[in-house]
Amino acid sequence: MTAPDPAALADLRLRDYTPVPAIRRDLTAVPRPLVPVVDIHNHIGRWLAPDGGWLTPDLVALCDLMDEVGVATIVNLDGRWGDELAANLERYDAVYPDRFATFCHVDWNALREPDPTGALISSLERSRAAGARGWKVWKDLGLTVTDARDELVLPDDPRLTDVFRAAGVLGLPVLIHTADPVAFFAPLDARNERLEELLANPDWWFGAPGYPSFDRLMAALEAVVATASDTTIIGAHVGGVAEDLVWVDRMLATYPNFHVDLGGRLAELGRQPRATRRLIVEHPDRVLFGSDAFPPDREAYQTYWRFLETDDECFPYAPGCPIPPQGRWEISAIELPLDVLRRIYADNARRVLAR
């Protein structure tokens, strides 16, 4: 072994630093979950595809993967509206009605019409009649959506109050993604824990003037939940505040219509395993499994099973990535009881989707 050059190491760039944890621990492989799973948060349509094609071009291969990793059903959040919704329903729900459930969106350009509330409710009614099983609201509401006056529209805008209520009347659960990780709103400097990720994706930073604060967006989400009390609302990504599980716990305790999914926040949950376990065990009927791993991925699913079912410590939330994409830390598992796993894996989602 060649002796290291201390001077060269002193000037090592952060992006070239890829430490390997020295801790020795048990590594538990969990190829399949204890019970079949409903993935309430995934993307298999065309909306997010860079080339405009289907994110899962081989439908048979997708079903084979689902069988292999124990996923009974995937909720497809990419339905959009009109012809695009019809295409998603035809490709997935019509062919495999027990395996896929497609959510619609609304076209926020309706906010530029004379009666935006009526236009948006009519869109939901058409989508429900076409076969949509829920309504997906993306983070652009609150960050980039504007009205006829080119003013930013937040989720608690009075013009949307009756739209969220109408979703409940129509039996459409609302899966809403509000804001983004807290670090995406923090100053872009050496103290930002996700600086590397934001430098690689500069359009993910919302700390610049003109954007609402993170707390303002969370207040808007709470207002929606409070005013649409008869509508089932699922806060995507652990309610949008995986960094503050006290806030999530308060929301779940206060609003019976509020639920959260686990999608895309394994890194945050796994570095606070005791608090995460406590939250789920105290609200077992209000937490839904979601992966947000798109296109669906074997290793991503199996990492979730390991996190939820074992007591492993100090393992990567993104296996195979020398530099973890969301932060340079490892995670620890939470070993949920079987009765809780049954509910978050499938029972809660099936209840919500049956509305």
Q: What average pLDDT does this structure show over 99-127?
A: 98
Q: What average pLDDT does this structure show over 320-348?
A: 95
Q: Is residue 324 part of a domain?
A: yes
Q: Is residue 146 part of a domain?
A: yes
Q: Is residue 56 part of a domain?
A: yes
**Nearby residues of 37 by Cβ (< 8 Å), 6 or more positions away:** 70, 71, 72, 73, 289, 345, 346
pLDDT at res. 13:
85
- What is the Cβ-side half-sphere exposure of residue 162, based on CA atoms within 13 angstroms? 9
pLDDT tens digits, residue range 100-111? 999 999 999 999
pLDDT tens digits, residue range 258-294? 999 999 999 999 999 999 999 999 999 999 999 999 9
Which residue's structure tokens are 């209840």? 351
pLDDT band at 2 (very low <50, low <70, confident <90, very high): confident
Q: Is residue 4 part of a domain?
A: no
Count: domains in the chain: 1
Q: Is residue 10 part of a domain?
A: no
Closest CA to 135 of 146, 145, 123, 147: 123
Q: Is residue 261 part of a domain?
A: yes
Check whether 355 has a pLDDT greater than 90. Answer: no
**Is the distance from CB of 42 to CB of 293 less than 8 angstroms?**
yes
Q: Is residue 16 part of a domain?
A: no
| Better-scored residue on pLDDT, 23 or 220 | 220
Q: Is residue 66 part of a domain?
A: yes
Q: What is the pTM of this model?
A: 0.96
Alpha carbon distance 55, 307 (integer Å): 26
CA distances from residue 156 to 222, 248, 307 in whole angstroms, order as listed: 8, 18, 35
Domain that holds residue 324: 29-353
**Nearby residues of 263 by Cβ (< 8 Å), 6 or more positions away:** 40, 41, 42, 236, 237, 290, 291, 292
Strands 37-42 and 71-76: parallel
As beta bridge partners, residue 103 has 134
**Nearby residues of 285 by Cβ (< 8 Å), 6 or more positions away:** 343, 348
pLDDT at res. 1:
66
DSSP 95-164: T-TTTEEEEE---GGGGGSSSHHHHHHHHHHHHHHHT--EEEE-TTTTTT-B-TT--B--TT-HHHHHHH
pLDDT band at 27 (very low <50, low <70, confident <90, very high): confident
| Residue 117: CATH number of its domain | 3.20.20.140
